[in-house]
Amino acid sequence: MQPDQDDQWVRNFRGVTIKIKDGTVISGKLNIGEYARVSDLLRQSQDQYIVLTEAEHRGSTGRVVIVNTNEIMWAEPKED
């Protein structure tokens, strides 16, 4: 699939591991868009949900996982 010329999405993926309140740990890639850092996205974005792609979650890999930011206990950006 070729990108559309009118596509306005900024693609700026960063590796991240997050832990949610139920103790689940999820690793994957997060598109931080125009933000400089993962922490900037989590603190400044008005979006209540983040989308992790290529996620490792519950014993499987390559998943897409949507997480409510209110449920995140901690997030650790991966070194690129």
pLDDT digits (tens, 9 = 90+) for 22-71: 999 999 999 999 999 999 999 999 999 999 999 998 888 999 999 999 99
Q: If pLDDT is split at 50, 70 and 90, which confidence band does 80 have?
A: low
**Domain ranges, residue 18:** 13-77
Domain membership flag for residue 5: no
Question: How many domains would you assign to the chain?
Answer: 1
Domain membership flag for residue 71: yes
Domain membership flag for residue 8: no
Q: If pLDDT is split at 50, 70 and 90, which confidence band does 77 have?
A: very high
What element of type H or E holds 55? strand 49-57
pLDDT at position 8 is: 78
* Full-model pTM: 0.83
What's the CATH code of the domain at 49?
A: 2.30.30.100
